[in-house]
Amino acid sequence: MSLLAPGNESRTDGGYPFSAETPPANEPTDEALVSRAQGGDKVALEQLIRRHQPWVFNVALRMLWHREAAEDATQEILIKVVTKLSTYRHQSRFRTWLYRVAANHLLNVRKSELEHQTTTFTAMGRSLDETPDLELPDPKAIPVDLPLLVEEARVGCMMAMLLCLDRRQRLAFILGEICGATSPVGAEVMGVSPENFRQLLSRARHDLYQFMNEKCGLVNLANPCRCANKTRAFMEAGYIDPQRLQFTAQRLARVRDVAPHRSDELQALERQHAALFRDHRFLEPKDFAAELRDLITRSGVAADVDVRD
């Protein structure tokens, strides 16, 4: 039986975690849900999880590239949030506290296989140069439409570019450039000063955009690299599985539609690059709330959650 009663589902488009926006009037605030959850209300706890799990998952996916690794990290983060909920004292906004937990975990989680392989922009550039240009596969031989397959290649390649940044720069870029967090919010999530956050973001932008200007045909038409020409080779190398799409399935929205609009903070040259990353799909995760509900029931975690401030 679901702990989330019909009609009480929190919206899953994640429209406000990194902005000043608040939930709609008919939805309780995070702080109200936390107070109820700390008092033992499992429905409120599950509503909190469902509200924030899409954002946690989408940040984790961009940090780790591999969907299964991102799902594992998301579950581990949400378990930490549940088990530490009694320590939250309402001294900062709950969502900032939650994403600080997520940031600490993602900065220290074990590296994914592709993260080990993709270490520098130089190495990735060499790998792209060595990837042959091939015709697209026979559309009758694959279970998805060719445009979707090419989009999978495009997004996967751009996600791999993020892996060339060190983890702190990568997280700053994901928070500030893709998700639209302001410098104060990003700084608080990462546990650094706003100036330090801006420096991390500026360096990440510089390195990533320089690489794209030199290699990516999406940004510079003079570059020969084209997503459609690399798609089949990516399939043959095992980076794309038409049977299990990582980056184009289960779309909730586009990132640009759910993240705060911050193009006014970007230099003109950078807006084109940022728009490409914000055009990626904001993906729906699997239902971690159901798994955590079972964990709470089996392990007695709820005893920790029941403690009031």
What are the tokens at 279?
A: 């055009």
Q: Give yes or no for a contact between 304 and 79, defined as CB atoms under 8 angstroms apart.
A: no
Residue 82 burial by CB count (10 A; 0-12/13-18/19+): exposed, middle or buried?
buried
Q: How many CB atoms lie within 10 A of CB 206?
A: 12
Residue 91 has a pLDDT of 78
In a domain, 6, yes or no: no
Q: Give yes or no for a contact between 246 and 276, defined as CB atoms under 8 angstroms apart.
A: no
CATH number at residue 73: 1.20.140.160
In a domain, 289, yes or no: yes
In a domain, 73, yes or no: yes
In a domain, 8, yes or no: no
Classify the phi-psi angles of 191: left when phi > 0, otherwise alpha if psi is within -120 to 50, otherwise beta.
left
In a domain, 16, yes or no: no
- Taking the C-alpha atoms of residue 123 and residue 278, their distance in angstroms, rounded to an integer, is 25
251 CB-near residues (< 8 Å, 6+ apart): 281, 282, 283, 284
pTM: 0.81
How many separate domains does the chain show?
Answer: 1
Residue 307 has a pLDDT of 34
In a domain, 229, yes or no: yes
Which of 83, 81, 1, 16 is closest to 48 using CA atoms?
81
Bridge partners for 254 per DSSP: 281
- Taking the C-alpha atoms of residue 176 and residue 95, their distance in angstroms, rounded to an integer, is 16
Range of the domain at 37: 30-305
Residue 269 burial by CB count (10 A; 0-12/13-18/19+): exposed, middle or buried?
exposed
In a domain, 139, yes or no: yes
Residue 152 has a pLDDT of 94
In a domain, 21, yes or no: no
Residue 305 has a pLDDT of 46
Segment-wise mean pLDDT, segments of 10 residues, the chain, 309 residues: 30 53 76 92 90 92 92 94 90 90 94 73 94 95 92 94 96 92 93 96 95 94 95 95 86 59 50 74 74 62 42
Q: How many CB atoms lie within 10 A of CB 136?
A: 16
